[in-house]
Amino acid sequence: MSLPPVRRRVAVVGTGAIVSGGHLPALRAHADRAGLVAAVDVDGGRLDAFRATAGQDVAGFTSVGAMLDAVRPDLVLIGTPPSLHREQTVAALKAGAWVLCEKPLCLSLAEYDEIAAAEEASGAYASVVFQHRYGSGAVHARELIESGELGAPLVAHCQTTWYRDAAYYSVPWRGRWATEGGGPTMGHGIHQYDLLLYLLGEWEEVRAMAARLVHDTESEDVSTALVRFRGGALATVVNSVLSPDEVSRVRVDCADATVELTHLYGHTNDDWSYTPARHVPAERAAAWRAPAHDVPSSHTAQLGAFLDALDAGTRPPGSGRQARRTLEFAAALYKAAFTGRPVRAGEIAPGDPFHEAMHGGHPDWAPKERA
């Protein structure tokens, strides 16, 4: 007879829209396995409003350190602005808590190394929220591609063409390297190209361009990349906040089929399509249909996978090498765009300026002194 799952004690750091709209529903969906015991926010009014929604038995704190000392949670969910992620993640790990943090997990590969060191010292783990990996449609597509059922992957397209206006960038931390880590390459398109990496595996080389075409920001408002994968596939990646007709799309052309996902901020099985090559028999293509059980991509799906790992005491998905690979891809895209030369996987090591910051200290892109 199996034992009932352990109910984990959970704290949230940040109580804004992503926590209220994403993490709180996920916790409620897994209420038998995780219970919210504490919330942290520097804005007392926002904290009180969140606790009124989440439950007054949730303890409120304005300091991460005070919360960790008082509560000692098993799991910390982080939904604060990006510049705070590294410090808050390391603090939670040092306190022995596992961490599930919104993207980007940190602002540079150097910061990631600090998180990895904290994991090593504590035995706890930190994962980044890339919820698109966890929808049943994505899992099914990856299984078909990995198994070779669709034939060898040959050509891929990854598109995040969204729209953000000047009011969006009026929020002080947006569009600045020190507080957001980059533009749509780090803050928007990262979800889609993380999914592309999930589907196609190891990338080998990136060539790229980036520009500020509309917004008065330190970072870019559009970037494009050409990518070569280890298996030989070639891909394009577009990250934009300049596109009135918003769409998120991943397409992979394999030898025997095209698999395509079209959505905006989340997908279900119905958002995936499979188009067989002309030589493929109908009965073989029929077997590619998405599974009957439909798990939307969501914080709920990822939290379930994370809790499974926590219960098993094993490294959770979205952490370690998986998390670093996506962050390294972002750094490589920036380096390729700003230097005008191709960047290979593994070349951005300590001592490389793009290891320390996504802008790499480039004179056309590094932050300028503010008056």
Residue-wise DSSP of 66-99? HHHHHH--SEEEE-S-GGGHHHHHHHHHHTT-EE
Q: Is the pLDDT of residue 4 over 90?
A: no
Q: What is the pLDDT of residues 139-162, one digit of tens each?
A: 999 999 999 999 999 999 999 999
User: Whole-prediction pTM value?
Assistant: 0.96
Instruction: Indicate the pairing of strand 272-276 with strand 257-263.
Output: antiparallel
Residue-level pLDDT at 56: 76
Q: What is the pLDDT of residues 26-74, one digit of tens each?
A: 999 999 999 999 999 999 999 999 999 998 799 999 999 999 999 999 9
Q: What is the pLDDT of residues 247-264, one digit of tens each?
A: 999 999 999 999 999 999
Task: Determine what percent of the chain is predicted with pLDDT higher than 70.
Answer: 98
Could you give phi then psi for residue 218, rounded to 5 degrees? -70, -40
Distance CA 238, CA 77 (A): 29
Q: Is the pLDDT of residue 1 over 50?
A: no
Distance CA 248, CA 228 (A): 21
Distances (CA, A) of 20 to 13, 24, 56, 69: 11, 5, 15, 24
Instruction: Indicate the pairing of strand 8-13 with strand 75-78.
Output: parallel
Residue-level pLDDT at 234: 98
C-alpha dihedral (29, 32, 34, 36), degrees to nearest 10: 80
Residue-level pLDDT at 371: 44
Distance CA 64, CA 82 (A): 15
Residue-level pLDDT at 358: 98
Q: What is the pLDDT of residues 306-346, one digit of tens each?
A: 999 999 999 999 999 999 999 999 999 999 999 999 999 99
- The sheet with strand 234-240 has its strands ordered as 272-276, 257-263, 242-254, 153-163, 234-240, 222-229, 203-211, 343-344
Residue-level pLDDT at 20: 97
* Mean pLDDT value across residues 267-285: 97
Confidence of residue 12 (pLDDT cuts 50, 70, 90): very high
Q: What is the pLDDT of residues 165-193, one digit of tens each?
A: 999 999 999 999 999 999 999 999 999 99
* Mean pLDDT value across residues 255-284: 97
* Mean pLDDT value across residues 210-229: 97
Q: Is the pLDDT of residue 277 over 70?
A: yes
Mean pLDDT score of the chain: 96
Residue type, 176: R
Residue-level pLDDT at 177: 97
Residue-level pLDDT at 2: 54
Could you give phi then psi for residue 89, rounded to 5 degrees? -65, -45
